[in-house]
Chain A
Amino acid sequence: MSDDHKEPAVQAPPSESDVAAFNKHLKSYVIIGGIEFLFTFLTVGISFFFENMGTKIAVTLLSAAANAILVAAILMHLKDEKKMIWKVLFFTGAFLVVLFFLTWLARSDEIAGVLHNHH
């Protein structure tokens, strides 16, 4: 960290073209909000549509994941984000997969009588 670093002082007001670009963004945020509402209702709807629990879990979580991807990509600006952030998230995702793999491992390597819970 350098002590002589100076952050730029008060920024100039945005230019007209910047304002126009932001206004365009604003519209897209509102549209994304509407799509997220739709995904929320879709998630609820399909969860009551399927009777088979496996299908129900898969399809409902898929719908929720689509909603989550919208939030991450558009609202969190991940789609335009720097490589550094993607690297961090790649490692996080990898560790998360390992974590769930451990859960699967624990389930598949069951010691009789210790995993089942009544409540």
Chain B
Amino acid sequence: MEIPHTVTARPDTGLYNAKLAIWLFLASEVMLFGGLFSAYVFLRMGADDGYWPHGLLNVPIGTINTIILVSSSITIVLAWASLKMRQWARHKMYLGITIGLGVLFLGIKLGNEYPAKFDHFGVFIKKDKWAQYEQYLDNDGLKKKGLPPRPEISGHLHEVEVDLTGADRQKFDDFLLGRGLEKKPAEGGENANLYEIEVKSPRDAEALRKAPGVKVAGFKLALDEVNADPTNVKFDHPSFFLPGHTEKIATIHGEDVDWWSAFYPKHSAYFSAYFLITGLHGLHVLGGIVVFTYFFFFGHKIYRRNPEQQANRIEVVGLYWHFVDLVWIFVFPIFYLL
């Protein structure tokens, strides 16, 4: 049986079937992302002053990714138009460029942006301990300027201090050996159970947190510029270029810490919303790439039999692709710029 209305419009809807179907699907997608955006609004509005971070994402990279996605929206519509004009070679060229741009978008996200976050480390200081870390936070200065406080000290994690009072030493040494880490007695040496462990990444700190009987007692991290020089007015507001890192080391005591984590989803409501929405968006990009790739290699079969049907297939997936672009047009400002 032949599938009806792949080319001709149904008399009752005035549309070929796949077109109505894709718009109904996109309507459901609007509700899906709408739900997530409303959750974002809810979390952001509920965040205490200073606890919704700004300026943690790389705006130039985000801008480049926006340009890439917008460009791919243009190339896919050109691919469709080429098919309508029965220019197969030109269609394949535009389709290939669209696939390449989609892959580039994902490559930047997965190869640069996410790993940079996973290597970054943040420590939220308890409110009643802010004064002790004023040299890194400058909350008095921010208050005088009428700006929200800065509750977090961030940078690259160098060392984790652990208290091994309740730990099985042999098992712990095996654990360290397994991860290629070494311990040394903590500076000062008043407590024989305190050790410093030089870590390779925040993942080691996460593993130490979960190690049986081990209590994380402090951190040494190489500060981000914003915490190394917190009184500098250029850090009062987010800037286009992401502030860099310094070699200035800060020691933070475990008892002063409210919460610590790498820039993982669990770091904050901001990052959980960021990874969820951009992750889901990334999966949509991947879905589009898979379908485009299928059409790139196998689309000629239908094209030979009925070129208008192939043009309609490209139009339908193109509509989906434009929607993915459209979602990003809002994702970019709400996470990177606002």
**Across the interface, do A99 and B322 meet the contact criterion of CB distance under 8 Å?**
no
With A11-B306, A56-B338 known to touch, is A82 a contact of B48 (CB < 8 Å)? Answer: no
Residues of A in contact, count (CB < 8 Å): 64
Q: What 1/0 mask marks residues of chain B from 310 to 338 whose CB sits below 8 Å from any chain A CB?
A: 00000000010011011001101110011
Q: What 1/0 mask marks residues of chain B from 266 to 281 whose CB sits below 8 Å from any chain A CB?
A: 0111000000000000
* B30 on the A face (CB < 8 A): yes
- The number of chain B residues touching the other chain, given as a range, is 35 or more
**Across the interface, do A92 and B13 meet the contact criterion of CB distance under 8 Å?**
no
Q: A61: which of B5, B6, B308, B333 is its contact (CB, 8 Å)? A: B333
Top 10 closest pairs, chain A to chain B, by CB: A47-B337, A33-B74, A5-B4, A92-B27, A119-B268, A115-B46, A103-B38, A11-B308, A82-B14, A96-B34
> For A112, what are the chain B residues with a Cβ–Cβ distance below 8 Å?
none
**Across the interface, do B43 and A117 meet the contact criterion of CB distance under 8 Å?**
yes
> For A91, what are the chain B residues with a Cβ–Cβ distance below 8 Å?
27
A residues adjacent to B (C-beta < 8 A): 1-3, 5-11, 13-14, 18-19, 22, 25-26, 29-30, 32-33, 36-37, 40-41, 43-44, 47-48, 51, 53, 56-57, 60-61, 63-64, 67-68, 71-72, 75-76, 82-85, 88-89, 91-92, 95-96, 99-100, 102-103, 106-107, 115-119
**Number of A-B pairs whose CB atoms are under 8 Å?**
177
**Across the interface, do B84 and A118 meet the contact criterion of CB distance under 8 Å?**
no
Q: Is the interface of A mostly helix, strand, loop or mixed?
A: helix
**Across the interface, do B42 and A103 meet the contact criterion of CB distance under 8 Å?**
yes
Whole-angstrom CA separation of A115 from B45 in the bound complex: 9
Pick the interface stretch among B63-71, B179-187, B208-216. Answer: B63-71
Which B residues from 30 to 78 make CB contacts under 8 A with A?
30-31, 34-35, 38-39, 41-43, 45-48, 51, 59, 63, 66-67, 70-71, 73-74, 77-78
> What's the nearest-Cβ distance from chain A to residue B98, in Å?
12
Whole-angstrom CA separation of A5 from B30 in the bound complex: 33
**Across the interface, do A64 and B240 meet the contact criterion of CB distance under 8 Å?**
no
**Across the interface, do A14 and B85 meet the contact criterion of CB distance under 8 Å?**
yes
* B309 on the A face (CB < 8 A): yes
7 contacts between A and B (CB under 8 A): A8-B306, A11-B7, A25-B81, A44-B59, A71-B329, A85-B23, A119-B268
**Across the interface, do A95 and B38 meet the contact criterion of CB distance under 8 Å?**
no
